[in-house]
Structure formats: structure tokens, C-alpha cells
């Protein structure tokens, strides 16, 4: 298969490409990435250095119709997976415009270019956040829940989901959608909860918990999400959305306490800061459709996954230092400056 992956230099894309080059050495993977602050070409340098014939990096923007069209034709692409996005909720609150540009208009551009090129499989990577929020005892989200996004990030992702649906209904374009819960694992940019708390705890800084820490997320190890995307590519029904989750619901406070215990750090580092505006209370995923139709089930327990993740960050301090420079620092100073 000749597969175009967008956003492959980000957290999930990087893990996905490593996993697929191992599992499918016969695939040709083309990674189209704009290299925003969150994209790091060095993540996959190992594949470039090995001169791996199955991997090609392409520097470009998913919003660029001419470039995307030429890539689809020149590299004779069979299938597309669209991971590329602005992915951080807090940044979307600060400045929604880039989210609309990449997550909604960029996704539509990918769908249109792929439709015109006659691509036969297109997986659009979405998120559980498009469903909005759950109360403490509500049943988990199914694919039949309405889309009720609450942040500019989730609204921009929901816009793309609806466009993907329209491309299937109108043009019979063979697009499938994945909606997954919170990922964790290697290469996650340290603006997200787990790597941020790891960095701060490691240097005995205060850990900023939004509100009272009672918000609930369902945590999935990144390789399990990647397997879900792989299964969707190989077996997904065109026009269908599939939920994925880790069956590991935790309050933010529970999670941070577990992390502190693994790191051997004191809970007195926890500090409560001003809440995120529009903060969704709880996400939980019913992924029985993916179990039934795709044979998906999360392989990693949270207890195994979080230890593996901590080990990776401990062994890759240089990676953390590298990505923490520049734009990251500017944003963090601004965001946390306001929350003190």
C-alpha cells in the first residue's frame, strides 16, 4: 500500500508511523507535515537516517490544494490518513482561527483533493471531544450521540466530521472517521497533562490542576489508538465513524496522584489554578462497535502504560528539552501567567 499520512511528525502520527513500518514493511509511507511548533521531524529521523525505502518525509500544508494534489498524483497514493491538526484545547481558547483553518478547512481540502484523485480509502482522525461532555453517571458516548462540541478545538474537529459525512453521503467518497479518547505515551508535546506534569514534578515545580481536579478523562495508550486507526484503514466500513477508548476513566487528580507516586514525589506539589473556560466534565467511550466490526480492544492497562511512558520520558530528557524551547515557552508563560 502507498499510504499518505498527514501530521506524522506529531505525537500520534510519529507512534503510528513507527508501528506501521514494523507491522507492514511492504508499505510505502509518505508523511506530509507542516512542522508547526508541535511537529518535530527529528522524531522520525531514525527512519530517514536508515534511508528506509518505505518512508518519505514531505514538508507541506494540508490546506495547500496544489501541493496536496501533486503529492497524491506524483507518489501514486492509494490511501490517506489525516492526523494533521492543531490539537491543544487551551491554545484554541487563546486563538481559535488556526484551528478552523487546519482542522476544518484543511480537512475539507484533503477530502476534496483525495476525491478528485480517486483515492479509495480515507481515514479522518477525529476525537471524542466532538460529542461534548458527560455527567458523572451518564452512559458512555456511542457513535449515535449528537455532536455537541464545547471548545473552539472540538468545534473545529466536529466541523471536519460533518464534512466527512457529507462527502460520503453526497459523493459516496469512501471516508471513515475515528473518534478516540485521551492518548498518552512517547513523543507527546509537553503542553498536554501527562508530559507537563512529568516535567514539573521532576524539577519539583508546582503542578497546576485546573479547577478542583474532578474532571474525568478516559486514557488510552497511544499504540492502542494507532491499532484502532490501522484496523479502520483495513476493515472500516465507508461512511462509518468508530469510537476508541482505553476503558481507563480517571479524574485528573487521581491521575496526577498516581504519577507522583511512580515518580516518588510528594502530593504537596499539587496546586489548584483557575479552571479552563468551558471545561468538559467527563469523557467516556463505548467502543463496542469497533470491537464487533474491527476486532479492536485496548491491549495496554493504564498501570502498564503509565510506567512505560514515564520510563520513556526519563530516557529521553533531551527530546523534552529540545521541544520545550522557543514557541512552547512563550505560550506557557502567557497561559500560566494568567492563571497564577
Backbone φ, ψ for residue 272 (5° rounding): -95, 125
Exactly one of 15, 31, 215, 227 binds ligand DAU (CB under 6 A); which one?
A: 215
Does residue 62 belong to the site contacting ligand NAD (CB under 6 A)? Answer: yes
Chain-centroid distance, C-alpha 267: 29
3-state secondary structure of 5: strand
- The alpha-helical segments, DSSP class H, found in 277-326 are 288-294, 302-315, 317-323
- The 8-class DSSP code of residue 185 comes to S
For residues 219-250, one letter each, b for 16 or more C-beta atoms within 10 angstroms of the residue's C-beta and e for the rest, the string is bbbbbbbbbbbbbbbeebeebbbbbbbbbbbb
- The alpha-helical segments, DSSP class H, found in 61-151 are 65-74, 89-94, 97-99, 107-116
Does residue 210 belong to the site contacting ligand DAU (CB under 6 A)? Answer: yes
Q: Choose the contact partner of 236 out of ligand DAU, ligand NAD, none; CB within 5 to 8 A by kind.
A: none
Instruction: Look at residues 47, 11, 318 and name the one whose alpha carbon lies nearest to residue 184.
Output: 11
- For the segment 189-228, give every residue that binds ligand NAD (CB under 6 A): 189
**Measured from the CB of residue 217, what is the shortest distance to ligand DAU in angstroms?**
5
Does residue 109 belong to the site contacting ligand NAD (CB under 6 A)? Answer: no
End-to-end Cα separation, the chain, in angstroms: 51
The closest residue (CB) to ligand DAU is 127
Does residue 236 belong to the site contacting ligand NAD (CB under 6 A)? Answer: no
β-sheet bridge partners, residue 79: 3, 121
Chain-centroid distance, C-alpha 185: 11
The nearer residue to ligand DAU, 35 or 196, going by C-beta atoms, is 196
303 is catalytic: no
- Contact string 189-208 vs ligand DAU (x = CB under 6 A): ---xx--x-----------x
* Cβ proximity of 95 and 331 under 8 Å: no
The nearer residue to ligand NAD, 195 or 208, going by C-beta atoms, is 195
Q: Which stretch binds ligand DAU (CB under 6 A): 50-58, 125-133, 238-246, 305-313?
A: 125-133
Does residue 283 belong to the site contacting ligand DAU (CB under 6 A)? Answer: yes
291 is catalytic: no
Determine which one of 18, 55, 131, 153 is catalytic.
153
Residues 6+ apart with CB under 8 A from 305: 184, 185, 219, 221, 246
- The alpha-helical segments, DSSP class H, found in 213-297 are 222-235, 252-263, 288-294
Does residue 243 belong to the site contacting ligand NAD (CB under 6 A)? Answer: no
Does residue 252 belong to the site contacting ligand DAU (CB under 6 A)? Answer: yes
128 is catalytic: yes
Positions touching ligand NAD (CB under 6 A) are 6-7, 9-13, 33-36, 38-39, 61-63, 83-87, 102, 106, 125, 127, 157, 180, 182-183, 189
The catalytic residue positions are 128-129, 153
Positions touching ligand DAU (CB under 6 A) are 87-89, 127-129, 181-182, 192-193, 196, 208-210, 215, 217, 252, 276, 283
Amino acid at each position: 500500500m502507498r499510504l499518505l499520512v498527514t501530521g506524522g511528525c506529531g505525537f500520534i502520527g510519529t507512534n503510528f508511523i513507527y508501528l506501521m513500518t514494523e507491522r507492514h514493511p511492504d508499505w510505502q509511507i509518505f508523511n506530509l507535515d507542516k512542522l508547526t511548533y508541535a511537529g518535530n521531524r527529528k522524531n522520525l529521523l531514525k527512519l530517514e537516517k536508515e534511508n528506509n525505502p518505505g518512508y518519505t518525509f514531505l514538508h507541506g500544508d494540508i490546506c495547500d490544494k496544489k501541493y496536496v494534489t501533486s503529492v497524491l498524483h506524483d507518489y501514486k497514493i492509494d490511501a490517506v490518513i489525516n492526523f494533521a491538526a492543531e490539537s491543544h484545547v487551551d491554545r484554541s481558547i487563546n486563538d481559535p482561527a488556526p484551528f478552523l483553518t487546519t482542522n476544518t478547512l484543511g480537512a475539507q481540502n484533503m477530502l476534496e483533493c483525495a476525491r478528485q484523485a480517486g483515492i479509495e480509502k480515507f481515514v479522518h482522525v477525529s476525537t471524542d471531544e466532538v460529542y461534548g461532555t458527560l455527567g458523572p453517571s451518564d452512559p458512555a458516548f456511542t457513535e449515535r450521540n449528537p455532536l455537541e462540541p464545547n471548545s473552539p478545538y472540538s468545534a473545529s474537529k466536529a466541523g471536519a466530521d460533518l464534512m466527512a459525512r457529507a462527502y460520503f453521503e453526497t459523493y459516496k467518497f469512501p471516508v471513515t472517521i475515528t473518534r478516540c479518547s485521551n492518548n498518552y505515551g512517547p513523543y507527546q508535546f509537553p503542553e498536554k497533562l501527562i508530559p507537563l506534569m512529568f516535567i514539573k514534578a521532576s524539577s519539583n515545580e508546582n503542578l497546576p490542576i485546573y479547577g478542583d481536579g474532578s474532571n474525568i478523562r478516559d486514557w488510552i495508550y497511544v499504540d492502542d489508538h494507532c491499532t484502532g486507526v490501522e484496523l479502520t484503514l483495513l476493515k472500516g466500513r465507508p461512511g462509518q465513524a468508530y469510537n476508541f477508548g482505553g476503558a481507563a476513566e480517571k479524574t485528573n487528580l487521581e491521575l496526577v496522584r498516581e504519577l507522583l507516586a511512580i515518580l516518588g514525589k510528594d502530593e504537596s506539589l499539587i496546586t489548584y489554578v483557575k479552571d479552563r473556560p468551558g471545561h468538559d466534565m467527563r469523557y467516556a467511550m463505548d467502543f463496542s462497535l469497533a470491537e464487533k466490526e474491527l476486532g479492536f480492544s485496548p491491549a495496554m492497562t493504564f498501570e502498564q502504560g503509565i510506567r512505560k511512558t514515564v520510563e520513556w520520558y526519563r530516557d529521553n530528557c533531551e527530546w523534552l528539552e529540545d521541544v520545550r524551547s522557543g514557541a512552547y515557552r512563550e505560550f506557557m508563560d502567557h497561559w500560566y501567567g494568567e492563571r497564577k
